[in-house]
Amino acid sequence: MAGKRTKGSAGRSPGQIGHAVDLLVLDGFFASGFSVTLDVLATANVISEALGGRAPFRWTTRSLDGRPVRSSAGAVLEVDGEVDDADGHLWMVFGQGMADAARVLTDVERPDSRALTARLPDAHARGVTVAASCSSTFLLAEAGLLDDTTATTCWWLAPLFRERYPKVDLRADAIVCAHEHVVTAGAAMAQLDLALAIVRRHAGHEVAHACARYLVIDDARVSQAPYLIIEHLSRHDEVVARAERWMAERLATPIDLRAAARAVGVSERTLARRFVAATGLAPARFLRRLRIENAARLLATTDLPIEQVAERVGYEDERAFRRAFGRDQRRSPAEYRRAHRSE
């Protein structure tokens, strides 16, 4: 990446191309998300022209001061200019790369993060669409662009996001949320889905679908739920973590949530409140997800018949288990087993 410029689109002049995109990049950005965005936009241009249309995108890469920036892996990226010179129809924000909750809180307070955040409201007020994925969505929230609207972020940062930005209607399961001039996406590789959503919005469904097929991307993904690790979310609250362990030890039997609350020394109402705050899920939904995750592990690592897998995670009715598993994992238990056995 060092020494490579990304100005324009494959050398074409801006006058030949439609929607202007500014890629706003801070030090520590996730290189793969940035690169895949360029690949999707460039592929959309090629496909659109092959279909007899105009190339729909041109882009520039910008840092705060116009100087090179470094990715989270240390690669140097040359840029085309300063953020203050950005004049595109769309700003795509690339803040710090994949991060945990503690690092996110530090990163949003960095001077460069604050400086970029301060520029977003004016651009948005001018009608510029602002987009980000993963931890970069925090910058949009810091700017107030997500207040009173729907948004998503990476699933493991959802508890922190929900606590810090209570005015945002967070849809943590969603891969992409679009609301007027703001678009957000989930975890790092959801940047692919974000780029495709931009192509779909500005170049049409046909071009976006063709991009997905050429790049071997599943453009039917709509949820982060199959990728969520429920035990990770429970760690945000010790009471919730203890309740999760209590449930996990009893999955094969009917579980009374009132008994779970008593076991960890709180009221049922307190347990429900803390589950929602820590995981975004009510205890009953968390329990269903816990059952499905354990079933997925058994399907991937054992030869147990599906009926026995269902029984081990607390489903007496195999048909009910199949329905629940299909809703959560977007495939049947048998399909899940075949996919994981072929890896």
- What value does the mean pLDDT take over residues 222-248? 77
What are the structural domain ranges in the chain? 14-226, 238-341
**Which phi and psi angles does 130 have, rounded to 5°?**
-115, 130
**Which distant-in-sequence residues (6+ apart) come within 8 Å of 165 by Cβ?**
141, 146, 147
3-class SS of residue 70: strand
Residue 101 banded pLDDT, cuts 50, 70, 90: confident
Give the pLDDT confidence score for residue 14 in this predicted structure: 40
pLDDT tens column, 181-209: 999 999 878 899 999 999 999 999 999 99
Looking at the domain 14-226, which fold is it? Answer: Rossmann fold (3.40.50)
| CA atoms within a 13 Å half-sphere pointing along the CA-CB vector of 165 | 26
Give the model's pLDDT for residue 103. Answer: 86
Phi and psi of 184, rounded to 5°?
Answer: -125, 155
Per-residue DSSP letter, 52: T
Least confident of 5-9, 164-168, 259-263: 5-9
pLDDT above 50 (res 127): yes
Cα 258 to Cα 235, 264, 269, 270, 272: the distances in Å are: 21, 10, 9, 11, 10
Q: Which amino acid is at 306?
A: I
Q: What is the pLDDT of residues 21-58, one digit of tens each?
A: 999 999 999 999 999 999 999 999 999 999 888 999 99
pTM: 0.74
- Per DSSP, 218 falls in state -
Where does 238-341 sit in CATH, by number?
1.10.10.60
Rounded to 10 degrees, the C-alpha dihedral 104/107/109/111 comes to: -170
Instruction: Report the alpha-carbon distance of residue 243 to residue 261 in Å, rounded.
Output: 7
Query: Which residue, chain included where needed, has tokens 């449930």?
Result: 247
Residue 226 pLDDT grade (very low, low, confident, very high; cuts 50, 70, 90): low
Percent of the chain past pLDDT 70, that is, above it, reads 90
pLDDT for the residue 339: 82
Contacts of 5 (CB under 8 A, 6+ apart): 61, 78, 79, 80
pLDDT confidence band for 12 (50 / 70 / 90): very low
- B/e letters for 200-217, b = 16+ CB within 10 Å, e = fewer, are bbbbbeebbbbbbeeeeb
Q: Tell me the two tokens of residue 14.
A: 């801006």
> Can you tell me the distance from the alpha carbon of 326 to that of 340, in angstroms, rounded to the nearest whole number?
15
